Amino acid sequence: MLRHILVTSNMAARGHVQDPNDRRLRPIYDYLDNGNNKMAIQQADKLLKKHKDLHCAKVLKAIGLQRTGKQDEAFSLAQEVATLEPTDDNSLQALTILYREMHRPELVTKLYEAAVKKVPLSEEYHSHLFMAYARVGEYKKMQQAGMALYKTVPKNPYYFWSVMSLVMQAISAQDDKLAQTMFLPLAERMVEKMVKEGKIEAEAEVQLYFMILERLGKYVEALDMVRGPLGEKLTSELQSRENKCMMMYQRLQLWPECNALSYKLLLKNPDEWQFYLSYFDSLFHLMDKSWSPPNEEEHCVEGPVQTTVAEAVKFVVDRMEEEDKKDSRPLRGPYMACLELIHRLRQRGCPDEEELGDPLELMLQFFGKFGDKPSCITDLKIYLHLLPPEQHTQFKNRLGDLVPLGEVGEDGFGFPGDTKVLQRHLCVCQLSRVLGLQHTLDTEGKLCLITELKAHYHYGLQFGKSCLKTELQFSDTYCLMVAHVYIDLWTETGDENMLWQCLGVLEEGLSYSPSNAQFKLLLLLLFCRLGAFQPVVDLYSSLDAKHVQHDTIGYLLTRYAGSLGQFAAASQSYNFSLRFFHSNQKDTSEYIIQAYKYGAFEKIPEFIAFRTRLNQSLHFAQVRTERMLLDLYTEADITSSLEESVKAMGLCPEEDDIPWDNMRDNRDLTVLFSWDPKDRELTEEHRRLSLEEESVWLKVRSLTLRLLASLALLGHAPSPRNSDKTNENGVSAKSSTLQTLLSQLDLTLQTAAQITEKQTQYPFLGPPSSRLASALSSGSCHCQASALQLSLTLQELETTGLDDSSELQTQICNSFKSLIVQLQELLSRCKGEVLEMKDSRLMTQPSLLETLVFFVETVCVVLWVASYSASVLRPLKSSLQKKKKKTKDSSTAMPVVLSGFQEWTGSLQGIVTQALDHVKGQEASLTALKLAALTLGVGHAQTQEECGFTRAAMDKVQTSYLGSLQELGDLLRKRADSLKSLKF
Amino acid sequence: MTTLRAFTCDDLFKFNNINLDPLTETYGIPFYLQYLAHWPEYFIVAEAPGGELMGYIMGKAEGSVAREEWHGHVTALSVAPEFRRLGLAAKLMEMLEEISERKGGFFVDLFVRVSNQVAVNMYKQLGYSVYRTVIEYYSASNGEPDEDAYDMRKALSRDTERKSIIPIPHPVRPEDIE
């Protein structure tokens, strides 16, 4: 990668004659490219001994240093060269790479500013300068650099880079007025000048002109431009001119033109859905305005306009007839358009809908034509509201008549003879679920339905015997629906057997169809709900989710890993996501520059918005916060002190980097298929509530993190360099931060309480609930807050001293006692069996595990406060002892706070021991559980094979619980060790 | 009944139902941005009336005109399981071919796993033929060679003699293709 710099700079600057310096530098480039940084540094040193002024060697050495973690050395070496304002290609490009690796792109601009000054006629340096500005988003300087470039070398792209930079100034302007009255008009004038001079060359330039006019709201001018000679350049994109005209017609509410153009485009392609929508929209607008054509010759520039329902009906009916006549595969568009028209006529209370026919018959007709396509359900779902509820059963039965099943066998079911009939039958099942007909069945009915669907599932597997493992089985959807009905039963009756059987059937499905993502997603969700995170890791990794998917579906992992005590897995899943988010910033800048180079101007604001969307992602903020909290919980005061950990993370309590007001929820909350009826579907309100809940929980977590950072710095021993006075100020500033954060936490917890009162229930397949409700009800949030509050009081004691502070001391001792009570309560909420067998049923209580995690987290916080307490009390105690020695007074009693503290650490020790015993006990009873002793398949018969899958799922849950307990136990043991250091 | 439109960055947040397919690769952001910056017209997505993404095609134009190798290339084509068997892939391919025609390409080409019989047959139906086999073109996530690819081609109208699609009898290695 570095080497090509050398090659290109050679070719550009000196043709084929090789510069001796290049020959000398080559080995260093090679070492760097091969990752051999040490050798690169050595080689550079060797070279520099002989050729002191070979600046590039210095920079290459700096790259080597940077890559071996010697950032400071690298930086000062680079600056040595930079201050000389180099103008040789090798040094400039190597510095550019170095600065980029240092995440200091702003320094590249300085570099080329100097180079351009020294070599003002260099096209290359000017263009590098422009790109350097682009990388840091300096739009005004880009505008100037673009113009300077154009003046040096009058090439069109340079001129338009400058124009685009004006557009970017408009887009980024805080004040829209400035955009509308200054930047955009200036950009417009710049383009107009080129138009007048006949200098427009490229399609990109026309695109940019269009963009400017559009942003200025000059739709008439934009339309004229697209229709005129300039518009002829718009050729790359298919239907580019038509699409742009349509957009302008809609903006300008030129309904006749909109209507006529839609009509024309639909005649050409009767499957283009967007044009049906614009055709209907415009038609009704025209009807509302009682528009009539101005003359008989031509309705408008786009041709004939349709203004009556009768015409629209005829148009749609004609399109359907055309399809009916065709020999080739019919298109769905016209038939869907017919339903859409009925829907719209009905909305308007227009009686003419009857002319199109009865929706029920039309949908049957649609099913007749497209029922064997998997998309049939997605299509018909949109228009089911056209059927009155009393027709639902009739509709389902009539659909059934269109599905020729084979003879009814012993089990009472008839089966499809081929995959097309199978798909039709499936579609009927899906429709009856969407219509709510499955939900109204009683438990017995649902169990019968399960039996029927399972029979169909197993029967259908024969059609997919030759399927590759990357293909789905034709009958997979039956299996998924069985799982959905099981979930209905579980949530309605609370019968956990339904859940176990559900897991079994999905595991079975996966064994026949190993790449079915829906099976994996649902299994993953169910295991998470069961509190069993271990199986989730493999399921998720088999989905092969990557890159942007870490943002859209990563929540499925990160919501549960930590909260279930699988800390190692949690850490890993946070890392996956964080790696993606961190690369975003650098990656996108590179392509913004590419977009300038290729003239894809409309993509530039799009890329910037994309980058912002990722930076403001809720999930990004969550994993960022949770990652640091997790590191503290698992490491601080174990491998290194809290203070060191906080410093290593670069955590600053005053800083809040979460974009609370612009948080973007990028989670894909409909990634799991659902055929639930409309009233059970995920709504916008659900989405809003989920984001609200997650944000408040994030606020609690982020405040906790900042409070811990603040606590760590409170314990920071005054550094000798600082004078006493600043020290004092420093300490009080720190404690006031702590105070501020504590009151913010208090407010947030109040909001949180209001939110959890609502007890929002999301659809099962929708967003998981946040940890907020369980955190509050466990008492962990309040316990942590009181512990942190205590640190403030202790700080006060530190300034007051032991004399004359009896009130303060009593207050502290009360806090000690109260914390013990709170922890004890929290621990008591963890008691119970997370997994047990009762009357040959397997029962789970995953909430116990979640509470235990809250307990452990809270213990960590309390112990950090205890360690801070010790650091405050220790010097007070030793000065007291000194005093005692001096006065030889042994009669005075130990101050309350000191004895209280000793008592406190004793009680803390006791609680941790209790907790460890509890964990041990749980582990023992889990290990003793012999799941093999369970008799499965009682009641509703599961086959031997199904039972096997259910058992396997149960084993996974048991193992996972054990894993969680082990990790929690390990952490508690380490914490118990840290307690020893508190003795004095 | 589909809305065909330019693929935008926001679609990356919505394409899970397409990309969770085992044969559809989810690339890093730079890869998508590179295509969007360089060949935006070649990146088309199909949207269902309910707003679900149905499938997309991603391609580019490359090759030397002088050597009559200027052509359209299909980088990725994928349709979500629930929107298959509607002829959508064919429609998207038709669009890519039309764009390549306008750019004066000589042919359109693509690589496909030799094991992906469904895709190979579909491309054959659309007029593509195997031009050559590329040995170990695909690699597994651990970097190990995984599978061979067919390089399939279809001549465009500029290649009147259909020279570009005359098959090469011997398989080639990935490093030998341009």
Q: For chain A of 984 residues, list the mean pLDDT of each consecutive stretch of 10.
A: 50 53 89 93 93 91 94 94 92 94 93 96 96 95 97 97 97 94 98 97 97 98 97 95 97 97 96 96 95 78 92 96 92 96 94 89 97 97 96 96 93 95 98 97 97 96 92 96 98 94 97 97 97 96 95 96 96 94 85 95 96 96 97 91 92 95 97 96 97 98 97 67 45 80 97 95 96 96 97 92 90 97 97 90 95 98 96 90 74 84 96 97 94 70 86 96 97 92 78
* Sequence-ordered strand ranges (E) for B15-171: 43-47, 53-62, 71-79, 107-113, 129-139, 145-155
ipTM over 0.90: yes
Q: Which of residues 333-352 of A touch B (CB under 8 A)?
A: 333, 336-337, 340
| Chain A / chain B CB contacts < 8 angstroms | 153
Instruction: List chain A residues with CB under 8 Å of B81.
Output: 374, 472
User: Nearest residue on chain A to B23, judged by CA atoms?
Assistant: A470
The amino acid occupying position A550 is H
The amino acid occupying position A135 is R
The set of residues, in sequence order, having a beta carbon less than 8 Å from that of A645 and lying 6+ positions away, is: A631, A632, A635, A636, A712
SS3 B66: coil
Q: Are B20 and A470 an interchain contact pair (Cβ–Cβ within 8 Å)?
A: no
Whether A932 has its CB under 8 Å from any CB of chain B: the answer is no
B/e letters for A668-678, b = 16+ CB within 10 Å, e = fewer, are bbbbbbbbbbe
Q: Work out the minimum CA distance from B165 to partner chain A, whole angstroms.
A: 25
**DSSP notation for A154-168:** --HHHHHHHHHHHHH
Q: Which of B16, B37, B84 sits opposite A549 (nearest CB)?
A: B16
Instruction: List chain B residues with CB under 8 Å of A666.
Output: 13
Whether A671 has its CB under 8 Å from any CB of chain B: the answer is yes
Q: Work out the minimum CA distance from A709 to partner chain B, whole angstroms.
A: 34
Q: Which of A340, A603, A671 sits opposite B36 (nearest CB)?
A: A603
Q: Which of residues 441-500 of A touch B (CB under 8 A)?
A: 468, 470-472
Helix (H) or strand (E) holding A283, with range, is helix A273-288
From residue A229, how far is each of A200, A201, A328 by CA, in Å? 11, 12, 39
SS3 content of chain A, % helix, strand, coil (to 5): 75, 0, 25
- Show the tokens assigned to A539: 């399921």
Q: Which of residues 364-383 of A touch B (CB under 8 A)?
A: 372-375, 377-379, 381-382
From the CA atom positions of chain B, what is the Rg in Å?
A: 16
Query: Helices marked H in A835-943 — which ranges?
Result: 846-887, 896-928
User: Nearest residue on chain A to B119, judged by CA atoms?
Assistant: A471
Instruction: List chain A residues with CB under 8 Å of B33.
Output: 587-588, 590-591, 594, 607
DSSP-derived secondary structure letter, B169: S
Q: Are A603 and B86 an interchain contact pair (Cβ–Cβ within 8 Å)?
A: no
Contact indicator for A658, A696 with CB cutoff of 8 Å: no
HSE-up (13 A, CA, CB side) for residue B98: 13
- Which of B26, B29, B41 to mutate: most A Cβ within 10 Å? B29
Stated pTM of the model? 0.93
Q: φ and ψ at A128, to 5 degrees?
A: -65, -40
The pLDDT, as a whole number, for residue A884 is 79
**Nearest alpha carbon to residue A551 among A664, A688, A699:** A664
Q: Which of B12, B14, B50 sits opposite A378 (nearest CB)?
A: B50
Instruction: List chain B residues with CB under 8 Å of A765.
Output: none
**Nearest alpha carbon to residue A238 among B10, B100, B90, B47:** B100
Q: Are B38 and A235 an interchain contact pair (Cβ–Cβ within 8 Å)?
A: no
- Show the tokens assigned to A334: 């016209």
Q: Are B116 and A470 an interchain contact pair (Cβ–Cβ within 8 Å)?
A: yes
Q: Are A333 and B1 an interchain contact pair (Cβ–Cβ within 8 Å)?
A: yes
SS3 B46: strand
pLDDT in tens, B19-43: 999 999 999 999 999 999 999 999 9
Q: Are B26 and A598 an interchain contact pair (Cβ–Cβ within 8 Å)?
A: no
Q: Within a 10 A sphere around the Cβ of A664, how many other Cβ atoms?
A: 19
Q: Work out the minimum CA distance from B8 to partner chain A, whole angstroms.
A: 8
Burial class (CB in 10 A: 0-12, 13-18, 19+), A840: exposed
The set of residues, in sequence order, having a beta carbon less than 8 Å from that of A852 and lying 6+ positions away, is: A565, A830, A919, A968
Residues in chain B, total = 178
**Nearest alpha carbon to residue A65 among A87, A42, A96:** A42
Instruction: List chain A residues with CB under 8 Å of B117.
Output: 468
**Nearest alpha carbon to residue A90 among A2, A149, A15:** A2
User: Nearest residue on chain A to B79, judged by CA atoms?
Assistant: A375
Instruction: List chain A residues with CB under 8 Å of B8.
Output: 606
- Which of B11, B17, B36, B141 to mutate: most A Cβ within 10 Å? B36
The set of residues, in sequence order, having a beta carbon less than 8 Å from that of A762 and lying 6+ positions away, is: A682, A686, A689, A690, A768, A769
Contact indicator for B64, A207 with CB cutoff of 8 Å: no
Q: φ and ψ at A669, to 5 degrees?
A: -90, 0
Q: Domains along chain B?
A: 1-163 (3.40.630.30)
B/e letters for A364-374, b = 16+ CB within 10 Å, e = fewer, are bbbbebbbbbb
Whether A237 has its CB under 8 Å from any CB of chain B: the answer is yes
Residues in chain A, total = 984
Q: For residues A259 and A287, what is the distance between their CA atoms, to the nearest angstrom?
A: 12
Q: Work out the minimum CA distance from A477 to partner chain B, whole angstroms.
A: 10
Query: Helices marked H in A435-475 — which ranges?
Result: 443-460
Burial class (CB in 10 A: 0-12, 13-18, 19+), A780: buried
Instruction: List chain A residues with CB under 8 Å of B41.
Output: 236-238
Is residue A173 left, alpha or beta, with left meaning phi > 0 and alpha meaning psi from -120 to 50?
A: beta
Q: Which of B36, B49, B87 sits opposite A382 (nearest CB)?
A: B49
Q: Are A602 and B37 an interchain contact pair (Cβ–Cβ within 8 Å)?
A: no
Residue range B60-77: mean pLDDT, rounded:
96
Q: For residues A880 and A874, what is the distance between their CA atoms, to the nearest angstrom?
A: 10
The pLDDT, as a whole number, for residue A890 is 60
Q: For residues A594 and A131, what is the distance between their CA atoms, to the nearest angstrom?
A: 9
Q: Which of residues 593-632 of A touch B (CB under 8 A)?
A: 594-595, 597-598, 600, 602-603, 606-607, 609-610, 613
**Nearest alpha carbon to residue A247 among A288, A283, A210, A273:** A210
- Show the tokens assigned to A213: 């006019």
Query: Does residue B158 carry a pLDDT above 90?
Result: yes
Q: For residues A156 and A477, what is the distance between their CA atoms, to the nearest angstrom?
A: 56
The pLDDT, as a whole number, for residue A1 is 54
**DSSP notation for A586-620:** HHHHHHHHHHHHHT-TTHHHHHHHHHHHHHTBHHH
Q: For residues B161 and B157, what is the distance between their CA atoms, to the nearest angstrom?
A: 9
Q: What angle do CA A843, A846, A851 make, to 5 degrees?
A: 140
From residue A787, how far is each of A632, A711, A869 by CA, in Å? 16, 11, 11
Contact indicator for A223, A248 with CB cutoff of 8 Å: yes
**Tally of helices (H runs) and strands (E runs) in chain B:** 4, 7
Q: For residues B161 and A602, what is the distance between their CA atoms, to the nearest angstrom?
A: 39
- Which of B33, B34, B60 to mutate: most A Cβ within 10 Å? B33
The pLDDT, as a whole number, for residue A937 is 64
Q: Which of A332, A552, A588 sits opposite B13 (nearest CB)?
A: A552
Helix (H) or strand (E) holding B5, with range, is strand B3-6
**Tally of helices (H runs) and strands (E runs) in chain A:** 42, 2
The amino acid occupying position A211 is M
Instruction: List chain B residues with CB under 8 Å of A672.
Output: none
User: Nearest residue on chain B to A337, judged by CA atoms?
Assistant: B1
The pLDDT, as a whole number, for residue A720 is 41
Q: Which of residues 513-572 of A touch B (CB under 8 A)?
A: 515, 517, 521, 543-549, 551-553
Strands B71-79 and B107-113: parallel
SS3 A35: coil
Q: Work out the minimum CA distance from B94 to partner chain A, whole angstroms.
A: 11
- Which of B4, B5, B8, B9 to mutate: most A Cβ within 10 Å? B9
The amino acid occupying position A555 is Y
Q: Are A517 and B20 an interchain contact pair (Cβ–Cβ within 8 Å)?
A: yes
**Nearest alpha carbon to residue A291 among A308, A270, A303:** A308
Q: For chain A, how far is it from start to end, CA to CA, in angstroms?
A: 59
